[in-house]
């Protein structure tokens, strides 16, 4: 069995799995049936009105948009438009003649100091500044037609990059509005156990979610996947960073580790079966007895099943790149088929989470079926939870 991280994680060679005529307000018969029921229900709830009233509002908005489109095609000069809280379309008029045409058509016209075109140019300049130097502490910046400004939201203006960005923004005078004490923004993902995770050009699979006594959220995974405590990403976006690993190549090791989840991200309590079975929910981590049915989710071989063979297994993993062998203790063995990249993936028996993929034969190739013949080793989850003092997240 070979355990070079490059081989196991990337190549999978290692054993570790790792409008026409314009008119004013137009009467129309509103029909709730022409709108998506879920959208209509959500709109009615947010506005505190009936579904019929919500449909009438959508009809009114659509009618106003058609009217504006017709006017613009007829040459009426406008510079941006938005719906106000009442659902009325407010249109920036470029001149007095345009304002009169808009008003005659039943739309609310206004003249502005800046307008959408100017604000878009300012926004583009700020985008360029941000691409040159990432403005940590600046949550967002956007064209806000209602306030006729580019609105900059700040979570922390103490960093030099944030101050420099704000100086650039404020140079545009009243065309920019700065809002302080805003929340820091993060990507948000709910990731299913068994899904792919990437780090430093390598890949492994997601294990289980757990929390400490303070409620901080962690990913419990195979230690060799996060030996160097890397930043982990899911579908191209960061979601966690390794904090602890008991795996060290060339030393006696235990193949368990944990990664602290970034704010806003979480590990689902539903295991990814890659469409091969109903997705089970995690309801505990009671260890299955030897001989019990066991299934695993992993990014390379998907959903494969077999049985538990035994526990307290020690193995020697070898390195295909010529590095030192590594003895790993405390594993479970199974007849579940796995391959490179499945490392860290979730084992479950019924609704009880069992562990994370550690390794298997280097030449093993699963045949694509759920019950593909094979074998593998896994790090028992209950041992990892106990060692790190974590509580499994359950459905």
- Length of the chain measured in residues: 395
108 is catalytic: no
114 is catalytic: no
Q: Which residue among 7, 224, 262, 342 is the active-site one?
A: 224
Alpha-helix runs per DSSP H in 239-312: none
Q: Which residue among 343, 362, 372, 376 is the active-site one?
A: 343
Cα 142 to the chain's mean position, in Å?
22
Cα-only R_g, the chain:
29
Q: What kind and span of H or E run contains 363?
A: none
d(CA 357, CA 317): 14
CA 37, 57, 84, 101 dihedral sign is positive
Other Cβ atoms within 10 Å of 124 Cβ, number: 12
Residue with tokens 């580790």: 257
Q: Which residue among 255, 262, 342, 383 is the active-site one?
A: 255
174 is catalytic: no
Angle at 331 between CA 327 and CA 337, to 5 degrees: 105
Angle at 318 between CA 313 and CA 322, to 5 degrees: 165
d(CA 75, CA 101): 10
Cα-Cα-Cα-Cα dihedral of 163, 168, 173, 175, to 10°?
A: -110
- Which residues are designated catalytic? 224, 255, 343
């Amino acid at each position: 069995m070979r355990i070079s991280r490059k081989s196991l994680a990337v190549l999978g060679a290692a054993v570790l799995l790792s409008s026409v005529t314009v008119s004013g307000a137009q009467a129309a018969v509103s029909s709730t049936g022409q709108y998506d029921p879920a959208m209509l229900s959500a709109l009615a709830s947010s506005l505190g009105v009936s579904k019929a009233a919500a449909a009438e509002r959508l009809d009114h908005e659509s009618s106003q948009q058609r009217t504006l489109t017709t006017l613009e095609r007829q040459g009426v000069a406008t510079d941006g438009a938005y719906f106000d809280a009442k659902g009325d379309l407010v249109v920036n008029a470029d001149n007095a003649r345009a304002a009169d045409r808009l008003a005659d058509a039943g739309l609310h016209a206004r003249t502005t100091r800046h307008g959408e075109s100017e604000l878009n140019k300012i926004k583009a300049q700020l985008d360029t500044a941000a691409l040159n130097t990432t403005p940590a502490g600046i949550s967002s910046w956007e064209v806000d037609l209602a306030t006729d400004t580019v609105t900059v939201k700040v979570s922390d203006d103490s960093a030099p990059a944030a101050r420099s960005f704000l100086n650039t923004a404020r140079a545009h005078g009243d065309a920019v509005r700065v809002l302080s004490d805003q929340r820091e923004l993060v990507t948000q993902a709910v990731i299913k156990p068994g899904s792919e995770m990437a780090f430093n050009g390598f890949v492994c699979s997601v294990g289980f979610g757990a929390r400490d006594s303070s409620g901080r959220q962690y990913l419990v995974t195979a230690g060799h996947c996060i030996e160097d405590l890397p930043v982990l990403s899911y579908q191209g976006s960061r979601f966690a960073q390794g904090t602890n690993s008991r795996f060290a190549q060339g030393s006696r090791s235990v193949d368990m580790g944990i990664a602290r989840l970034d704010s806003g991200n979480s590990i689902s309590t539903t295991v990814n079966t890659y469409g091969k079975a109903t997705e089970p929910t995690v309801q505990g981590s009671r260890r299955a007895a030897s001989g019990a049915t066991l299934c695993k989710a992993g990014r390379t071989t998907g959903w494969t099943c077999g049985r538990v063979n035994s526990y307290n297994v020690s193995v020697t993993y070898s390195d295909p790149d010529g590095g030192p062998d590594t003895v790993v203790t405390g594993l479970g063995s199974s007849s579940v088929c796995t391959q490179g990249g499945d490392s860290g993936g979730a084992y479950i028996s019924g609704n009880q989470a069992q562990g994370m993929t550690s390794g298997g034969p280097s030449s093993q190739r699963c045949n694509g079926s759920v019950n593909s013949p094979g074998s593998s080793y896994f790090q028992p989850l209950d041992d990892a939870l106990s060692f790190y003092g974590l509580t499994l997240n359950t459905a």
